[in-house]
Amino acid sequence: ERAALELLRDAPAITLDGVNISLEANIELPEEAADALAAGADAIGLFRSEFLFMGRSDLPSEEEQYQAYTSVVKTMNGRPVTIRTLDIGADKTLDGETTVATNPALGLRAIRYCLANPELFLTQLRALLRASAHGPVRILLPMIAHMHEVKAAYRAIAIAKEQLIARGQAIATNVQVGAMVEIPAIAIAIEPFVEALDFLSIGTNDLIQYTLAVDRGDSEVVDLYDPMHPAVLRLISNTINAGERTGKHVAICGEMAGDAAMTRMLLGLGLKAFSMHPQQLLDVKKEVRESHTNALRNKVASALNRAQRIDLNDL
Ligand code: PEP
Ligand code: MG
């Protein structure tokens, strides 16, 4: 059966009714880009850059980060590479970080941490912009909830560009900037965000946690961590629809995207970009190639309109 899946590697990810689907890879280390390419990924949909920062006592320099990002860009050979800016705090902490947040999941994490530490943020942005000279880089901002965070991030990117130009260093002019949709507030009030940004990526791991008030790492409440809750699916649907209206790329990069049992449901929500662990990619592609999106979209929409649970076996 594995051999049959291998044959799928070079087949296009297209549904029976002709909808092209982008199948992208999540990676945590630069070396994993080779696995993404081997699995036939169309892009890196999520490079979790925090793993360059963890398990060490110092911060990675601009040069070290530039080398790491550039190696991924070169490996992917012209395919887009989405690099998430540092998502630290909550379940991922820096060594030597002394302050303990009252509630780390709701505290100074991710974009909040970066905007509060401008030198650290600018160093990473310069490394990302320099890597963009070697191929298409998309900058992905984690944990966005407010438009003023988007504006502050754009200001920081502009400053980083000026610093590089002053140094005479090469950067691409067309670096796309997007946000993670992983806080319910942005999924509900999505319009200004989809207008201001080039793309969106739905982080269902955190979106489920924050929508249902269930700690994603707490085994005592794991039964309540429910990706199929109609409220979660409505937030995903609202985000996908905003992308459709504006022609912006909307992906899911949380665990749901790599679960082949959910592929038909996500196609029914109108999803056209799935980012997952490279090993999951061929199973999802198989589902895509055996699906008709039209019927799925009708079934999923009618269930969601009534906030009814969807039974995956009915799709
Ligand atoms: C998510 O929240 O769904 C996500 C992809 O990011 P992480 O799991 O790194 O928080
Ligand atoms: Mg997240």
Residues having CB within 6 Å of any atom of ligand 1: 46, 48, 87, 182, 203-206, 253-254
Mean pLDDT of 69-97: 89
* pLDDT band at 1; cut points 50, 70, 90: low
Q: Which is catalytic among the residues 13, 83, 153, 253? A: 253
Residues paired with 181 in a beta bridge: 202
pLDDT at 162: 97
114 is catalytic: no
Mean pLDDT of 190-207: 98
How confident is the prediction for the chain on average, in pLDDT?
95
Cα–Cα separations (whole angstroms), residue 138 to 125, 132, 312: 11, 8, 33
Separation of CA 166 and ligand 2 centre (Å): 34
* pLDDT band at 6; cut points 50, 70, 90: confident
Distance from C-alpha of 267 to C-alpha of 272, rounded to nearest angstrom: 7
Q: Is 216 annotated as a binding residue?
A: yes
* pLDDT band at 90; cut points 50, 70, 90: low
Supply the pTM of this predicted model.
0.96
Ligand 1: residue of 82, 141, 205, 250 to mutate (most ligand atoms within 8 A of CB) is 205
Is the pLDDT score of 99 beyond 70? no
Is the pLDDT score of 105 beyond 70? yes
Distance from C-alpha of 24 to C-alpha of 273, rounded to nearest angstrom: 7
- Give φ, ψ of 27 to 5 degrees: -135, 160
Residues paired with 276 in a beta bridge: 25
- Taking alpha carbons only, the member of 245, 250, 266 closest to residue 191 is 245
Contacts of 257 (CB under 8 A, 6+ apart): 204, 251, 266, 271, 274, 275, 276, 284
List the residue whose alpha carbon is closest to atom 4 of ligand 1: 203
Taking only the tens place, the pLDDT of each residue in 286-301 is 999 999 999 999 999 9
Q: Is 309 annotated as a binding residue?
A: no
List the residue whose alpha carbon is closest to atom 6 of ligand 1: 203
Residue 309 · residue 230 · CB < 8 Å: yes
Instruction: Return the ligand number nearest the Cα of 256.
Output: 1
> Residue 143 corresponds to which amino acid?
M
Which atom of ligand 1 approaches the CA of 209 most closely? 2
Mean pLDDT of 256-283: 98
Q: Is 119 annotated as a binding residue?
A: no
- The mean-pLDDT minimum among 85-99, 126-140, 189-203, 215-229 falls in 85-99
Residue 285 · residue 253 · CB < 8 Å: no
Mean pLDDT of 163-183: 94
Q: Residue 126: count other Cβ atoms within 10 Å of its Cβ.
A: 23
Is the pLDDT score of 91 beyond 70? no
* pLDDT band at 285; cut points 50, 70, 90: very high
Q: What is the DSSP letter of 14?
A: B
Is the pLDDT score of 96 beyond 80? no
Contacts of 177 (CB under 8 A, 6+ apart): 138, 139, 141, 153, 154, 157, 197, 198
Is the pLDDT score of 225 beyond 90? yes
Buried b (16+ CB within 10 A) or exposed e, 107-124: ebbbbbbbbeeeebbbbb
- Give φ, ψ of 103 to 5 degrees: -140, 95
Mean pLDDT of 175-186: 98
Distance from C-alpha of 141 to C-alpha of 155, rounded to nearest angstrom: 13
Length of the chain: 315
Distance from C-alpha of 223 to C-alpha of 72, rounded to nearest angstrom: 37
pLDDT at 78: 97
Buried b (16+ CB within 10 A) or exposed e, 235-272: bbbbbbebbeeeebbbbbbbbbbbbbebbbbbbbbbbb
Ligand 1: residue of 112, 144, 182, 225 to mutate (most ligand atoms within 8 A of CB) is 182
Mean pLDDT of 118-132: 98
Ligand 1: residue of 27, 87, 93, 250 to mutate (most ligand atoms within 8 A of CB) is 87
Residues paired with 274 in a beta bridge: 23, 252
In this prediction the ipTM stands at: 0.99
Separation of CA 204 and ligand 2 centre (Å): 7
* pLDDT band at 98; cut points 50, 70, 90: low
Q: Is 245 annotated as a binding residue?
A: no
